Amino acid sequence: LFVCNTGHQSLHNSVDEALLLKRKAEEVQFELNGRCIYLVGMMGSGKSTVGKILAEVLGYSYFDSDSLVEQAVGMPSVAQIFKVHSEAFFRDSESSVLRDLSSMHRLVVATGGGAVIRPVNWRYMKKGLSIMLDVPLDALAKRIAQVGTASRPLLDQPSADPYTAAFTKLSVLAEQRGDAYANADVRVSLEELAAKKGHDDVSQLTPTDIAVENFP
């Protein structure tokens, strides 16, 4: 019943896993009391992927702040907005999108990885529950290398191979943004979750495993 598919890939391993997620969602509904969930974390941490699962299981609406910025600006991609305008222009639009969302209820918002750097965005996100997806850098770089860096302008360096380009830049950003991510109400560490489940690698965790952990 709760098995959702993103195209060809099934997100849940089993019916059991889907039911566990549903039960956890029911438990947390009362405490959430309609407050929004904001997913924060580095590029590639799974905010958009996990956000869709959380929204479905909670009966919340799902929004990706990057898509809302694209709509507001009237351009088809974040990459183009960075190129034609600037990162600062993108950040202004991102803040105005988050401000608008913060007056609403029952939303799961997948933010962009850099939304945490502006203190004003935390004023908006603190109206809801913020959850940080903490994923090791090499796993982030592997995921991003698989899809390519073209859609993530901060990682897009045509000279380097995608894994190295992503890993190098993500290391710098992680260092710069560490304190900002620490503002989140809840932190979900994939390393800790993998260890708890007896996996040797975080890549063995499904998006549903991770979504279940989002319920404090």
Ligand X SMILES: O=C(O)C1=C[C@@H](OP(=O)(O)O)[C@@H](O)[C@H](O)C1
Q: What is the DSSP letter of 151?
A: T
Residue owning tokens 């979900």: 188
Q: What is the DSSP letter of 42?
A: S
Using CB atoms, what's the residue nearest to Mg ion? 48
Of 78, 129, 180, 205, the one binding ligand X by CB under 6 A: 78
State the angle between helix axes of 47-58 and 15-32 in degrees (0 to 180), rounded to the nearest 10: 80
The b-or-e profile of 16-26 (16+ CB within 10 A means b, else e) is ebbeebeebbe
Q: Per rule CB under 6 A, is residue 130 in the interface with ligand ADP?
A: no
Sheet holding 37-40, edge to edge: 61-64, 107-110, 37-40, 129-134, 186-189
Which residue, 29 or 157, is less far from ligand ADP as judged by CB?
157
The b-or-e profile of 164-177 (16+ CB within 10 A means b, else e) is ebbbebbeebbeeb
Site string for ligand ADP, 68-107 (x = CB under 6 A): ----------------------------------------
Q: Per rule CB under 6 A, is residue 45 in the interface with ligand ADP?
A: yes
Window of 44-52, 87-95, 123-131, 171-179 that interacts with ligand ADP by CB under 6 A: 44-52
> Is 2 in contact with 57 (CB distance < 8 Å)?
yes
Window of 42-50, 138-146, 175-183, 194-202 that interacts with Mg ion by CB under 5 A: 42-50
Window of 13-21, 27-35, 41-49, 118-126 that interacts with ligand X by CB under 6 A: 41-49
Q: Per rule CB under 6 A, is residue 128 in the interface with ligand X?
A: no
Q: Per rule CB under 6 A, is residue 169 in the interface with ligand X?
A: no
Of residues 108-127, those binding ligand ADP (CB under 6 A): 110
Q: Per rule CB under 5 A, is residue 149 in the interface with Mg ion?
A: no
Q: Coil, strand or helix: which one is 63?
A: strand
Q: Coil, strand or helix: which one is 103?
A: coil
Q: Per rule CB under 5 A, is residue 45 in the interface with Mg ion?
A: no
**Residue ranges that bind ligand ADP, judged by CB under 6 A:** 41, 43-49, 110, 143, 147, 205-207, 210
**Residue ranges that bind ligand X, judged by CB under 6 A:** 43, 47-48, 66, 78, 112-114, 152-154
